[in-house]
Chains A and B, each alone.
Chain A
Amino acid sequence: MTTQNGIAALPQLGLGLGLRNVHFEHILTHWPDVDWFEAISENFMDSQGRPRDVIRKVADRYPVVLHGVSLSIGSTDPLDLDYLARLKTLAHEVQPQWVSDHLCWTGVMGLNSHDLLPVPLSDETLAHIVPRIHKVQEVLGRPLILENPSTYVGFKDSTIEEPDFLRALADQTGCGLLLDVNNVYVTCFNADADAMAYLDAFPWDKVVQMHLAGHTDCGTHIIDTHDQPVRPEVWELYATAWQRTGGASTLLEWDGNIPDFDTCHAELLKSRAYMGGAGFQQVLDAAQIAPATGVSNPVSFLVPDVMDAATPADQG
């Protein structure tokens, strides 16, 4: 074990929101009453402009978690040590409560799909990823927290159920887990599997954090679009997950058609209604907002609105 403290030492942060460009001004102006923020690591790690300035200021006031989308822990390409060094520098600067990424790969042959692609769940994949997690934890000097991805394909090479695979990863590396409740629903729905059985098999003692998000129903399948309120089915799973984790840190992701900050915050606070176990209050007003594109894991939030920052010299 290369980390100084295991996941058991990590705090329960309460209810947090994803730190998004469109909310920067609101946050810096109003310093809203949010328990914590989760920042997409890649939005800030190379920034020498406004994003970097914003995360420094936010980290001065709130607990912050760094959540990555490009570690590519499952790729058969070598680990990107330059990426890790930049991530470590950012972590040193903002002192996050933890650093997380996904059980996925994003590319091979030096190319990047900018998607969170699933890995076949097998002993071979396990043997491939375990030493990579060890290396990441050694470089970062802290436990890595890994999230279950939303998936749309199943591999014939898969021989292990996802909860068991994640348990094995955590047992063999000391990493923690980020349970994305919406991803559980998406993956199980698309595979025609039982989401509650998935939760029954999940290693709850490894869960450090949970994610909530909205998805899009495409009729035959659903896509993890993060562009609308949390669906009632996901809230129900969350109620179970919250109980079984004993109140793990919860974060709402909203990445497409992002509404104003107060709307996002109000959606997050709905989770309080699901913390009472059986008999929880039903707050099921999750009216569908028409998605713009139906893109899985939307990433438009990764690109700042540069045009709005540009002015002729005689203005602004």
Chain B
Amino acid sequence: MADTLTDLQHWMHRALLRPEEANPQEVDARLTPHPRLSPSGALAIYQQSYRLRIASCMREQFPALCHALGQDLFDDFAAEYVRDCPPESYTLYDLGRRFAGFLDAQRPDRDSQTREVWVDFVIDLARFERDVFVTFDGPGAEDLPPASPATCDADLRLNPSLRVRAYQFPVAQYYLAVRAKAAPTPPPPAPNHTAIVRQDFGTRIVPLRAGHARFLSVMTECTTVALALAELGPGALTPWHDDPGLKTDWLRAGMFVAADAQT
């Protein structure tokens, strides 16, 4: 191992992550002055670029949360986040993976008996946006034949991209309003269930009733309709047993594929 190089890289990386801790004398000792740039000035280009780059990528991954907080406050949260959870992966797709957990761990009312509603909303929205982001580029059903109305229940399988989630706020509606540039205000709590699914590389957001979400969640684990019903207990019926239109809607949203496509 190149000891001098190791030492230099550890020093420079710390200087990027925590610019305020970079000792000016050490900067001068390691970096060469140029006529145009002092050592500290040159290092500052990398320090500033790191901060701006991370903030920019976080805004791209959490556009609705950025809208909710305003860019300045969002950037402050993002900066604190990467100080606490510096990027570990070679891919920027991973950058926001721990953001909702970070916000939850750092919530200002964590030691209080009373929970601040706006904090709950921020965390809920961060979770939703991460779910949408992961669905966009994760496993999908584009190479699998979709299920059709003619596909019998025994042959229905869930789209591999499907995520069934419970949120405390109508975050999906808020997200779509931001997308439509409607400048929404933070909504009051309204617990809900939502399916996020990708079809033809487009991400679909499907509101669910609690019982429907329960069925789909169990089916995620059990694979087939029959096994899901067995898991749910005696007398369990499909969500569409008395509402054929529901099955049609879910098929149209791409929530199912046909069984033989996966074998």
Contacts and interface: CB of A to CB of B under 8 A. Distances in A.
B19 interface: no
Contact of A49 (B34, B137, B253): B137
B53 to A, nearest CB: 5
Given A49-B201, A53-B142, A220 B52 contact: no
A300 B205 contact: no
Contacts of B31: 153-156
Nearest to B91: A42
Nearest to A127: B2
B140 interface: yes
Contact of B63 (A42, A72, A307): A307
A115 B198 CA distance: 31
B138 interface: yes
A201 interface: no
B137 A46 contact: yes
A10 to B, nearest CB: 25
A115 B30 contact: no
Interface string A295-316: 1111110111111111111001
A152 interface: yes
Contact of A190 (B12, B36, B60, B206): B36
Contacts of B92: 42, 114, 299, 302-303
B42 A311 contact: no
B210 interface: no
B61 A303 contact: yes
B81 to A, nearest CB: 14
Contacts, number: 215
Interface in A249-300: 293-300
Contact of B32 (A155, A298, A299): A155
Nearest to B176: A312
B56 interface: yes
Nearest to A76: B6
Nearest to A75: B9
Contact of A110 (B45, B88, B136, B252): B88
A281 B204 CA distance: 52
A189 B179 CA distance: 42
B49 interface: yes
A125 B172 CA distance: 51
B223 to A, nearest CB: 20
A220 B49 contact: no
Q: Which of B42, B45, B140, B202 has the most chain A CB atoms inside 10 A of its CB?
A: B45
A26 interface: no
Contacts of A296: 45-46, 49
A310 B4 contact: no
Interface string B1-35: 11011101110110011000000000001111011
Interface string A206-235: 000000000000001101000000000000
Q: Which of B4, B29, B39 has the most chain A CB atoms inside 10 A of its CB?
A: B4
Interface string A13-27: 000000000000000
Interface stretch (A31-39, A92-100, A101-109, A177-185): A101-109
> What size tier do the contact residues of chain A reach?
35 or more
A304 B135 CA distance: 12
Nearest to A219: B36
Contacts of B6: 76, 108
A67 B60 CA distance: 22
Contacts of B89: 112
A122 to B, nearest CB: 8
B260 interface: no
A303 B60 contact: yes
B136 A49 contact: yes
Interface in B120-147: 132-133, 136-140, 142
Q: Which of A119, A192, A306, A310 has the most chain B CB atoms inside 10 A of its CB?
A: A310
Interface in B186-208: 198, 201-207
B88 A112 contact: yes
Contacts of A192: 34-36
A297 B49 contact: yes
Contacts of A47: 137
A255 B179 CA distance: 23
Nearest to B252: A313
Nearest to A310: B203
8 closest A-B pairs (Cβ-Cβ)? A154-B32, A70-B90, A50-B201, A303-B60, A49-B137, A128-B2, A76-B6, A313-B253
Given A152-B42, A310-B176, 17 more contacts: A48-B140, A49-B198, A70-B90, A70-B91, A76-B1, A107-B13, A113-B17, A113-B87, A154-B32, A157-B30, A189-B36, A192-B35, A223-B45, A295-B49, A303-B57, A307-B179, A312-B176
Interface of A: 42, 46-51, 53, 70, 72, 75-76, 80, 83, 105-115, 117, 119-120, 124-125, 127-128, 152-158, 189-192, 220-221, 223, 293-300, 302-313, 316
18 contacts: A49-B140, A112-B86, A112-B87, A112-B89, A114-B54, A124-B5, A152-B46, A156-B31, A156-B32, A158-B32, A220-B41, A295-B48, A296-B49, A300-B56, A303-B93, A306-B136, A308-B179, A310-B205
